[in-house]
Amino acid sequence: MSTVTPARAPHPDLPTGHSPERGRVGAGLFDPAQLLRSLPDAFRKLDPRVQVKSPVMFVVWVGSVLTTAFSCVHPGDWFGWTISVWLWLTVVFANLAEAVAEGRGKAQADTLRRAKSDTVARRLAADGTEEQVAGTALAIGDRVVCEAGDIIPGDGDVVEGVASVDESAITGESAPVIRESGGDRSAVTGGTKVLSDRIVVRITTRPGETFIDRMIGLVEGAARQRTPNEIALNILLASLTIVFLLACATLPPFAHYAGTQLTLVVLVALLVCLIPTTIGALLSAIGIAGMDRLVQRNVLAMSGRAVEAAGDVSTLLLDKTGTITLGNRQAAAFVPVRGTTEAELADAAQLSSLADETPEGRSVVVLAKERYGLRERHQGELAGAEWVAFTAQTRMSGVDVDGRSIRKGAAGSVAAWVTGRGGTVAEDADTIVAGISEAGGTPLLVAVEDGRGARVLGVVHLKDVVKDGMRERFSELRRMGIRTVMITGDNPLTAKAIAEEAGVDDFLAEATPEDKMALIKREQAGGKLVAMTGDGTNDAPALAQADVGVAMNTGTSAAKEAGNMVDLDSNPTKLIEIVEIGKQLLITRGALTTFSIANDVAKYFAIIPALFAAVYPGLDKLNVMQLSSPSSAILSAVVFNALIIVALVPLALKGVRYRPMSADRMLRRNLGLYGIGGLIAPFIGIKLIDLVLSLIPGIG
C-alpha cells in the first residue's frame, strides 16, 4: 500500500493562501513544457474513433486520408503532397487545442492524485471495538475512528467529536479547518488529514466514488459531457458540412462541362476551406477551458451543463449572512437618551462590554475606542471589579465597579433590570429602540445604577454591515438582466433595510426550506434559470431544484450531493463569479462561431474565382485579392485555414473578455468585432501567404 501524507499545516499565525503548486497549474496559456506534454496526445487523437466525435474535423481527417492516398498514386505531384501535409496539420492543430486544454486539467488532477492515498482504516464494530481494514474495503454506513496524524480514509460525516483538519490537498488553503458533529460543518473528505483531537466518521461514499475521485475525472475532462448548447452547435456545424459537401460534389460535372478538370486534391481543399473548421476545431477546447477557469477559482463543476446554465442564469438567490453582509453584527452608533452625553454612554458601553466575548461585544469596545478616543481597557486593570459575563439566559453583560453597576444587553432584559431596582426607563429610550428596529438594526440598552438610582443611559445601535462593493456588483448584474433575491431568516423590517442598503432587487424574509423551494419553482415556471448557494442539509432540496446549485465545501454531504457545483473555498459570494464565468463561456463560443462563419465567407473569394476565372472570365471580378495563380490561391487558403486555428487557441482557452451589458449590445459588439474581423482577416492573411508562395518557383 502507498500512502501520501499531505503537507504539514503551517503555524496558525502565518498568513494563508493558495499553495504555490496549485497556483502553477493554471499558469501560462502556451507554456512550452505544456505544449510538449500535449503534443503526443494531439497525435493520439488522430484515431478515427476519436475524430468521429467531431463531425467537422472528421471530414477534414477523411479528406487528409484521401489526399494522401491520391498523392501516393501520383508521387510526383508536389501540390497534392503540400495540400496533404497542411490538411494533416489542420487536424493536429485542432487536436492540440483540445489536448492543451485537457493537459491543464490533468496537471490539476496530478496534484489531487498526490492527495489520494490507500490507507488502513480503524473501523468500529457493532460492539464498539476497533478493527483495522483497508480503506478500499469500507462500505457506506461504516464508522471509522480518526485521530491526530491519521488520513481520513473516505468521504463521510463526523458523527462524534470535533477536530482540526488539513484540507490543503483539495482546497489549496494551508489553514486548517474545524470539523464537528451535529452541524453544517460535519462533512469530511477522504485523503485529508486530521491534525488534532479525535473524531468518528460515518462513511457516505463507496471506494472509487469519493470526492477526490470525482474531481480527478472532472478536471481531466474524462467525465466531461457535451452540454445541450454544444450538442446543438455540433448539429448545426454538421448540417453546414453536409451542405458544402453536396455543393462540392456538384462541381466536377460543371467543371467537365466547362472544359476543365478538378482533381480530388482540389475538391478536398475547397471543401475543407468552406466548412466551419475553425469553430469545429476549437469547440471542445472552449468547453474544457470553461470548466478549467472554475477549477482555478477553486470551484468544482459536476457537469459542463452547470457551467453553461450559469451563463444563462436570470435569477440569483443569495443568503444575506456571510454573502451580502459580513455576518457579524457590528456596533455602528451610540444614541444617548436626554440628559446623557454620547461620551458618557460610550464609556459605560465599553466597560459593560469588557466581559462580553461575542463579536458584537468586541465591536462595542472598538467603536468606543475609535470614535471617542477611549483607551481600550482590560478586565485586569479594574481592581475589585465584579464582571458579569454575557449568557444566552440573561442576554446581558456588565460590571460592578467603584460603587456603580453597569449593564448592557437586549432591550427587554436591561429594562427589566432597571425596573427591578426601582428605576424607570426614559420615554425616549423606547422611541430610539423602535426606530433602530424599524431601520433593520439591533438595539442594545445600556443602563447604570449609582447614587442617582437605576436609569437607562442610551442605546447601542448594532447593524449587520453590508460588504463593500456589493451595491456595485448588483448593479452590474442588473445590467446583465439578472434579478437578485436576498434570502434571510430575519424579520421583514430588517430584511427590507438590508436589501435597500445592498441594492438587491427583492428579498425573502423569514425564509424556510419550503419557502426557498417555492420561490425557485415560481421563477422556473416563468422560464427563468435560477442559481443559489447553500451549505446545510436543509438547503439540499433547493440546491437540487435550482438550475445552478453551488454547495459550500464546509457544508454537509447532503448539500454537496444535491448541488451541481462545489466551492472549495466556501465563499458564497463566488456565485457571482460563477455566473460571469458561465457568460464568458457562452460569449467565447458565440464570438468564435461568428468569426469562423465570417472566415468561410471570405475564403469563397479566394478559391472560387481562382478555380473558374480561366473558364468564366467574368468571375475574375470577384478575385479582389488578385492572387497570383489558382494553385497559390488554393494552397494559401489551406495554409491560412490551419494557422488561424493556432492563432485562436489562446482566445479559446482564456476566453473572450466579459463586460456587463445588455444582450442586444453584446450581439452588436460581437458582430462588429468578430463578424467584421472574421471577414477581413482572411483577405489579409491569404494575400500575405500568397505573396510568400509567389516567390517559390513553380507556384507563382
Tell which residue, 283, 309, 282, 304, has the closest CA to residue 293.
Answer: 304
User: What is d(CA 480, CA 149) in angstroms, rounded to the nearest whole number?
Assistant: 49
- Looking at 258-405, list the stretches that DSSP marks H as alpha helix, in order from N- to C-terminal side: 264-274, 277-296, 304-311, 342-353, 359-372
Please give the backbone phi and psi of residue 479, each rounded to the nearest 5 degrees, phi first: -65, -25
Helix H or strand E segment including 146: strand 143-147
User: What is d(CA 536, CA 563) in angstroms, rounded to the nearest whole number?
Assistant: 11
Tell which residue, 249, 540, 541, has the closest CA to residue 551.
Answer: 540
User: What is d(CA 501, CA 589) in angstroms, rounded to the nearest whole number?
Assistant: 37
Q: Does the annotation flag 523 for ligand binding? A: no
Amino acid residing at 17: G
CA 315 remoteness from chain centre = 17
Note the maximum CA span of the chain: 120
User: What is d(CA 478, CA 496) in angstroms, rounded to the nearest whole number?
Assistant: 19
Polymer length in residues for the chain: 700
Q: Does the annotation flag 360 for ligand binding? A: yes
Q: Does the annotation flag 397 for ligand binding? A: yes
Output the DSSP codes for 503-565: T-SEEE-S--HHHHHHHHHHHHHTT--EEEEE-SGGGHHHHHHSSEEEEETTS-HHHHHHSSE
User: What is d(CA 566, CA 561) in angstroms, rounded to the nearest whole number?
Assistant: 9
Strand, helix or coil at 496?
Answer: helix
Output the DSSP codes for 433-487: HHHHHHTT-EEEEEEEEETTEEEEEEEEEEEEEEPTTHHHHHHHHHHTT-EEEEE
| 548, 531 contact by CB (below 8 A) | yes
Q: Does the annotation flag 535 for ligand binding? A: yes
Q: Does the annotation flag 392 for ligand binding? A: yes
Q: Does the annotation flag 320 for ligand binding? A: no
Q: Does the annotation flag 82 for ligand binding? A: no
Q: Does the annotation flag 119 for ligand binding? A: no
Tell which residue, 596, 513, 602, 499, has the closest CA to residue 559.
Answer: 513
Sheet containing strand 325-336, edge to edge, reads 325-336, 453-466, 442-450, 404-410, 396-401, 386-388
Residue 515 annotated as catalytic: no
Q: Does the annotation flag 394 for ligand binding? A: yes
**Which residue out of 150, 155, 319, 567 is catalytically annotated?**
319
| 552, 532 contact by CB (below 8 A) | no
Q: Does the annotation flag 390 for ligand binding? A: yes
Q: Does the annotation flag 396 for ligand binding? A: yes
User: What is d(CA 686, CA 691) in angstroms, rounded to the nearest whole number?
Assistant: 9
- Bridge-based pairing state of the strands 565-567 and 548-552: parallel
Q: Does the annotation flag 356 for ligand binding? A: yes
Q: Which positions ≥6 away from 629 have C-beta within 8 Å?
A: 610, 694, 699, 700
Distances from the Cα of 46 to the Cα of 49, 93, 274, 649, 668, angstroms: 8, 11, 22, 18, 38
| 116, 212 contact by CB (below 8 A) | yes
Q: DSSP letter at 621?
A: G
CB atoms near residue 688 (< 10 Å): 12
Strand, helix or coil at 625?
Answer: coil
Please give the backbone phi and psi of residue 236, each rounded to the nearest 5 degrees, phi first: -60, -45
CA 648 remoteness from chain centre = 24
Strand, helix or coil at 395?
Answer: coil
Residue 413 class from Cβ within 10 Å (0-12 exposed, 13-18 middle, 19+ buried)? middle
CA 485 remoteness from chain centre = 20
Tell which residue, 167, 166, 168, 152, has the closest CA to residue 200.
Answer: 152
Q: Does the annotation flag 186 for ligand binding? A: no
Supply the residues annotated as catalytic.
319
Annotated binding site for ATP: 356, 360, 390-397, 408
Annotated binding site: 356, 360, 390-397, 408, 535, 539
Annotated binding site for Mg(2+): 535, 539
